[in-house]
A and B are shown apart, each in its own frame.
Chain A
Amino acid sequence: MARAARSSNSRSDTVLLSVCLALSIIALILPGEQRRPVAEALRRTALAPLIRLQGAAERGRAALMQRDQAIVNRDSMTVRGMTIVSLEAENDRLRRILGLAQRLRWGFVAAEVLHGKGLGEEFTVALTAGDAAGVRRLSPVVAPEGLVGMVTGTDPQSAQAIVWSHPDFRVSAMSTDGKAFGIVRPHIAGSGASRYLLEMSNVPFRNSLPAGSLIVSSGLGGTYPRGIPIGTVMQELTTAEGWARTYLIRPAVSPGDVTSVMVLMPQRVQSGVASVWTSVAAADSAARAIAAAGDDATRRAALAELAARRALTDSMSAGDSTLQTDSAAVVSPAAPRPPLSPADTTARRRRRRTAPDSVPGTVPPRGTR
């Protein structure tokens, strides 16, 4: 009985297997145009919920991938945004160095600056141009902003230079109006950030330099041609010397930021660079002339006002009370004509403002336009 049942089960299993295999093989050998409707019917009915699940999972995966991509894009944009600042700065530097090259026209060698990061190398740099390019020892190294340093040694393809912060750096300097001369050297006595300033010593006591005055190379000594900007006056330093002044100078060039420079060749040093940085020096000179003219006009107006006051006081003390009142309005022919009535303070102020315009060849002082 049990064997019969087992045999029946075995037979039914075999039949089911045979049917399933047959159906599978029929499905396999069905032509494409007949199997597609069957598959489509299955997808639309029994498999529809599962296909929807799979679609949702695929969308979830795509969203995850897009999120990762979005993060990557955002990070890339952030990095790009950070580099834009440095690119703009580099672009600006390159534009200025191109401008300097156009002004110099000849007698220079362009070089890249390789900053040494080792101990004791903070005051020296390597240049990517050497003997082969025409670089010579003691050649001035300049940037669009002004003087960088001097070449101290050369190889065929490279050169070594000291920058202005080197303890041995010296340059003969002067104010742009040519009245004050001195020697510019690193401010070795300074500590911290002030070590990276310059000082201009041996300036004759009679020459006072106001803060902000531009200092340029004087051309004395033959190493540096006249007219290369060195820096601007910050303040006067108190020294033990009573016969000369020393000024603290803010350098025109920051060596750490310099990446491209020009090395002036000996012929160019001899012929000078008078027209190269003229605009900078001329602007400084003009500014100082404007300030001086303004001061002069103000001084003259004040003197005229003082003279008018004296005349008024004299006339009042000379006459009686009635006459004094009248004479207050009468200007003595002997006395200098006052530009304005002393009581008219508003007009006096106006006069002060307009006074520099009356001086031929000058323009109003700074701060009055």
Chain B
Amino acid sequence: MSPGRIAKGLTVFALLITLHYTLRPLLGWRAPVDFLVIAVLLTAVRVRPGTAAVVGFLSGIAADALTPESFGAAALAFTAVAYLASWLKAVFFADNFALNGIFIFLGKWAADLIIVIAERRLHGLDLLQQVLLWSPLSSLSTAIAGLVLLVALRPLLDEPAVA
């Protein structure tokens, strides 16, 4: 990977992280857009699975630092999702718009599932409501935001690497 590509990738990643900590709390939606997942997924499909796992882990630990009660849950989820995304990147190599949307949706939903299960905070009806209602809604809004960002940041994002 050339230094230019690395710089572009880091810029997009930093931009998405900034959006996560500024635009997300400003909007204050009940089903929020998760720019962190978008950043992890967009990075994961452009690096090797091992590197993707490290990026996912670091992003997750950063998210966990703000919720010490479930410390490690996001790290676990993002590590798994980033590694799988990087491993499956050949499927999305075509850079198909709809497939990218589904990819982000599933990635976010999977991350939420792992987090909810790992933190063991919700039970019964609340757990079902979170998993089957709020998480899909949040995944949907994240997927839509991810597609918008993909279009907007296309000059900065080159095609995903082949495994």
Contacts and interface: CB of A to CB of B under 8 A. Distances in A.
Contacts of B103: none
Contact of A20 (B18, B23, B69, B79): B79
Contacts of B72: 24-30, 35
Interface of A: 9, 12-17, 20-21, 23-30, 32, 35-36, 38-40, 42-43, 46-47, 50-51, 53-54, 56-58, 60-61
Contact of B50 (A12, A24, A36, A38): A12
A28 B22 contact: no
Contacts of A21: 53, 76, 79-80
B75 A20 contact: yes
Contact of B68 (A13, A39, A51): A39
Interface string B57-71: 100111011101101
* Chain B interface extent, by class: 35 or more
Interface of B: 17-18, 21-28, 48-51, 53-54, 56-57, 60-62, 64-66, 68-69, 71-73, 75-76, 79-80, 83, 118
A61 B23 CA distance: 10
B60 A57 contact: no
Q: Which 7 A-B pairs have the closest CB atoms?
A: A27-B72, A13-B50, A16-B50, A28-B72, A24-B76, A20-B57, A42-B65
Contacts of A40: 68
A20 B56 contact: yes
B79 A56 contact: no
B75 A50 contact: no
Q: Which of A39, A40, A46 has the most CB of B within 10 A?
A: A39
Contacts of A27: 61, 64, 71-72, 75-76
B4 to A, nearest CB: 23
11 contacts: A9-B48, A17-B50, A26-B72, A30-B71, A43-B66, A46-B62, A50-B21, A53-B22, A56-B22, A57-B26, A61-B28
B54 to A, nearest CB: 6
Contacts of A26: 72
Contacts of B64: 27, 39
B62 A42 contact: yes
Contacts of B18: 50, 53
B61 A17 contact: no
A12 B26 CA distance: 40
Contact of A16 (B51, B66, B68, B73): B51
B21 to A, nearest CB: 4
A315 B24 CA distance: 113
A29 B75 CA distance: 13
Contact of B48 (A13, A39, A57): A13
B40 to A, nearest CB: 12
